A = this chain, B = another copy of it.
């Protein structure tokens, strides 16, 4: 199904009914509204104006649209900020981040919680039973614009309280963090300082706790909203629209509050954001890289425990990347189908009509700026709606052969302590995902501690801290397990595990890591044996009491195996990574298709989808029965057939 994001407050009331009619006519069934409208809903403190939204909801519902209502907490109004400046966030340099855009609040402020609860209560009381309402969105894009963390006095106080709960006593905290190191010992929790603006780097244990604290706060803040919504709006589901490549907080924990996950898919904008090479950036500039959207679909399907939407789908060029090209013709349709292939229940475009004012003037909509005329993306969306009607209901997603364990705290740990400037966990995960998808395989993301039974192959690119649940899940895995570098290299207090890394994983791996090297660009260590290629960026010096499948030039283990558990002791270059995946799928006896760089497959029930990001065409396998498309899939086109 298709949806759209709409802002009735942006357009004269006279236009609403026509907008709603045109949405329905082009095949849109869902509409998201309201998430930035606080200043129109509450003009001054306790001076509410719901009349316009009443009329807007009625107009949309009367046209047959199903409404998703956003809580407006991403945009606290000026009167609130002025009355309560303690809600404002601070950047890492201690500078307040002021009013005038959005997300200008810190999750650490008790005032902010109280005020957020108040407006969510009001809005949900008013609309919780509206017949057009099918679901809620909490807030908007948590963490966007670097807002997971804040570095002010409110944050310091809330962090100190969080630490008091975690460690109980200051001696425990001093011991856990190793504060004796540079006479950093604290006398009480009042002594806790923000882990920033120190002369040289602060204690990484403090930084990791600070990050975890902020991540916890988001999950708690979200749960607060969910509790109110559930109370006031029975029978409606709740989601949140996550962003892409933001790993600053643990999305799985927020997902636990929700009925389904959703995310905002800007495949082209993300090409500038992800650390691709310039060659790759140029290659994928106008289509996106074929794994960017897919990676997030699979991630958020997991965050939503099987259920997800695309809440905002890029419908044309955007405004916020360093460069903003026009997508190649066909890409809006392709992205929409691809989301559905990965299991999305609804793909909702952002936004109905391009705004001719304010910050997003250069962000395309389904309609041209200020007008009632479909844009290129709008016409592709309409075409997709017609195709969807033809194809009919899509079958459910099935469990995939491959699981990828994604761990947010490892992103924080490696960001705090990269040890080599280019050790980027998100990049490692993405490259492993890309390599296995190049073999035509579907992937489920699994959170640490999630059930791994039934997967033929479990990929763990890196998991620095391995708690008991995660260990047990790995022990219980009945397929092959591939562990990447740095796994098990920190304990829960961010210390090197006693007995050395991989700490609790040692029994599984049969290895002990005695030294690690980060390798500057240009340095590499050759790997030979069962695999060949090279280590770049990171290499471990390992003692192995188990089978060694590949080794470095000096004979040290590069790849080891103990029963079903493989360990890779480096960051693999492209060749080594591809080789590793080949070996694993053969070992796991998985059926694979070697795909070119620009084509990907995805199954949903008995349907198989092929997506061609171009520029060359691609031939579907012989003898299949096409449901959509032709046997020679053109660039920026797709095909669907039954397995």
Which residues of A are at the interface with B, using a C-beta cutoff of 8 A? 9-10, 36-40, 44, 72, 74-79, 82, 89, 93-104, 144-145, 147, 177-187, 191, 193-195, 197-206, 272, 278, 281-282, 285-286, 316-317, 319, 322-326, 354-362, 364, 368-371, 375-376, 417, 419-421, 493-498, 500, 514-520, 522-523, 539, 541
A9 to B174 alpha-carbon distance, docked (Å): 13
| New contact pairs (11) apart from A40-B185, A101-B201, CB-CB < 8 Å | A10-B178, A39-B179, A44-B187, A82-B191, A95-B197, A98-B194, A99-B198, A145-B199, A317-B516, A325-B517, A326-B539
Chain B residues lying within 8 Å of A361, measured Cβ to Cβ, are 204, 417, 495-496
B97, B182, B199, B498: the one within 8 Å of A370 (CB): B498
Q: Decide: A147 and B205 in contact? CB cutoff 8 A.
A: no
21 CB < 8 A contacts A-B: A39-B184, A39-B185, A93-B95, A97-B198, A100-B203, A102-B200, A104-B199, A145-B200, A184-B358, A204-B359, A285-B519, A316-B515, A322-B421, A323-B518, A324-B419, A325-B518, A326-B541, A354-B496, A357-B495, A357-B496, A362-B417
Q: Decide: A99 and B193 in contact? CB cutoff 8 A.
A: yes
Chain B residues lying within 8 Å of A514, measured Cβ to Cβ, are 368, 375-376
Q: Decide: B193 and A421 in contact? CB cutoff 8 A.
A: no
B72, B186, B201, B205: the one within 8 Å of A357 (CB): B205
A369 to B376 alpha-carbon distance, docked (Å): 60
A417 to B101 alpha-carbon distance, docked (Å): 15
A519 to B281 alpha-carbon distance, docked (Å): 11
Minimum distance in angstroms from A455 CB to a CB of chain B: 33
Given A39-B185, A95-B93, A362:B198 Cβ within 8 A: no
B79, B104, B194, B375: the one within 8 Å of A187 (CB): B79
Chain B residues lying within 8 Å of A144, measured Cβ to Cβ, are 200
Chain B residues lying within 8 Å of A496, measured Cβ to Cβ, are 354, 356-357, 361, 369-370
Given A147-B199, A183-B77, A498:B356 Cβ within 8 A: yes
Chain B residues lying within 8 Å of A77, measured Cβ to Cβ, are 183, 185
* Residue on B nearest A42 in the bound complex, by CB: B183
A89 to B199 alpha-carbon distance, docked (Å): 9
- Please give the count of copies of this chain that the complex contains: 3
Q: Decide: A185 and B541 in contact? CB cutoff 8 A.
A: no
Chain B residues lying within 8 Å of A204, measured Cβ to Cβ, are 358-359, 361
Q: Decide: A359 and B201 in contact? CB cutoff 8 A.
A: yes
Chain B residues lying within 8 Å of A187, measured Cβ to Cβ, are 44, 78-79
Given A79-B187, A368-B514, A419-B319, A100:B541 Cβ within 8 A: no
Most buried by B among A144, A206, A522: A522
Minimum distance in angstroms from A241 CB to a CB of chain B: 15
Most buried by B among A39, A97, A500: A39
A38 to B184 alpha-carbon distance, docked (Å): 9
Chain B residues lying within 8 Å of A103, measured Cβ to Cβ, are 199-200
Q: Decide: A421 and B323 in contact? CB cutoff 8 A.
A: yes
Minimum distance in angstroms from A317 CB to a CB of chain B: 6
Q: Decide: B517 and A317 in contact? CB cutoff 8 A.
A: yes
* Residue on B nearest A329 in the bound complex, by CB: B554
A333 to B523 alpha-carbon distance, docked (Å): 23
Q: Decide: B420 and A324 in contact? CB cutoff 8 A.
A: yes
Given A77-B183, A186-B78, A370-B496, A195:B40 Cβ within 8 A: no
A154 to B515 alpha-carbon distance, docked (Å): 44
B285, B371, B493: the one within 8 Å of A500 (CB): B371
Chain B residues lying within 8 Å of A324, measured Cβ to Cβ, are 419-420, 517-518
* Residue on B nearest A515 in the bound complex, by CB: B326
Q: Decide: A322 and B515 in contact? CB cutoff 8 A.
A: no
* Residue on B nearest A74 in the bound complex, by CB: B182
Q: Decide: A198 and B104 in contact? CB cutoff 8 A.
A: yes
B98, B323, B357, B498: the one within 8 Å of A198 (CB): B98
Minimum distance in angstroms from A444 CB to a CB of chain B: 33
Minimum distance in angstroms from A328 CB to a CB of chain B: 10
Q: Decide: A76 and B183 in contact? CB cutoff 8 A.
A: yes
Chain B residues lying within 8 Å of A272, measured Cβ to Cβ, are 520
B75, B96, B97, B177: the one within 8 Å of A182 (CB): B75
Minimum distance in angstroms from A615 CB to a CB of chain B: 12
Q: Decide: A197 and B97 in contact? CB cutoff 8 A.
A: yes
Chain B residues lying within 8 Å of A195, measured Cβ to Cβ, are 100
Minimum distance in angstroms from A352 CB to a CB of chain B: 14
* Residue on B nearest A185 in the bound complex, by CB: B39
Chain B residues lying within 8 Å of A205, measured Cβ to Cβ, are 357-358
A500 to B40 alpha-carbon distance, docked (Å): 28
* Residue on B nearest A203 in the bound complex, by CB: B358
Given A94-B95, A193-B99, A520:B198 Cβ within 8 A: no
Minimum distance in angstroms from A56 CB to a CB of chain B: 13
Given A101-B182, A178-B357, A375:B515 Cβ within 8 A: yes
Q: Decide: A520 and B370 in contact? CB cutoff 8 A.
A: no
* Residue on B nearest A88 in the bound complex, by CB: B199
Chain B residues lying within 8 Å of A494, measured Cβ to Cβ, are 357
Given A317-B516, A325-B519, A359:B200 Cβ within 8 A: yes
